[in-house]
Amino acid sequence: MNKKAVAIIAAFILGMVFSYNLGASKWRNPKKTAIAHPEGKMTAEAGFKPNQGYVPDEETAVKIAEAVWLNIYGEDIYNRLPFVAYYDGKTDNWLVYGSMPEAKPGVTFFGGVPEMTIRKADGQILWVSHGE
């Protein structure tokens, strides 16, 4: 291989490495300081942390609960629709429940509903159960 080809290949490789490092540097945070963001903050310890928490609303809480319940209890959870979530401001947790079918004369329902408690701030699942 001639010197000109080696120089071109070396320049290409250096260019790729340099451009990769430029792009990646905007995400690095070597000083471990918070980086301002309109919807949260970026820290080296925790990554991005949304101002409203990782579970900001009822819809997000229900989606998390559904995914976990489906894995644990299977398709039967869909017999307990709709799923509803209530925010408990005292504990900063979402309480998510399934619903019992509408009562009908002469019909007896057995079993309970799936239940879950999810921490709003970090999405940690604190409790999972299925009533009987």
Quote the longest CA-to-CA distance of the chain: 91
Dist. CA 128–CA 72, nearest whole Å: 10
**Which tens digits make up the pLDDT trace of 21-65?**
555 445 555 555 555 666 677 666 667 788 899 999 999 999 999
From CA 79, how far away is CA 33, in angstroms rounded?
Answer: 48
Average pLDDT on 109-118 reads 86
CB of 86 closer than 8 Å to CB of 94 = yes
Pick from 63, 54, 62, 80: which is nearest to 132 by CA?
Answer: 80
In contact, 63 and 40? CB cutoff 8 Å: no
Better-scored residue on pLDDT, 126 or 49? 126
Q: Is the pLDDT of residue 12 over 80?
A: no
What pLDDT band is residue 69 in, cutting at 50, 70 and 90? very high
Instruction: Express each pLDDT in 77-113 by its tens digit.
Output: 999 999 999 999 999 999 999 998 776 777 666 668 9
Question: What's the sign of the alpha-carbon dihedral 84, 130, 54, 87?
Answer: positive
Residue 46 C-beta-side C-alpha neighbours within 13 Å:
14
For residues 99 and 84, the answer to whether their CB atoms sit within 8 Å is yes
- pLDDT at position 126 is 97
Say what the pLDDT of residue 101 is.
78
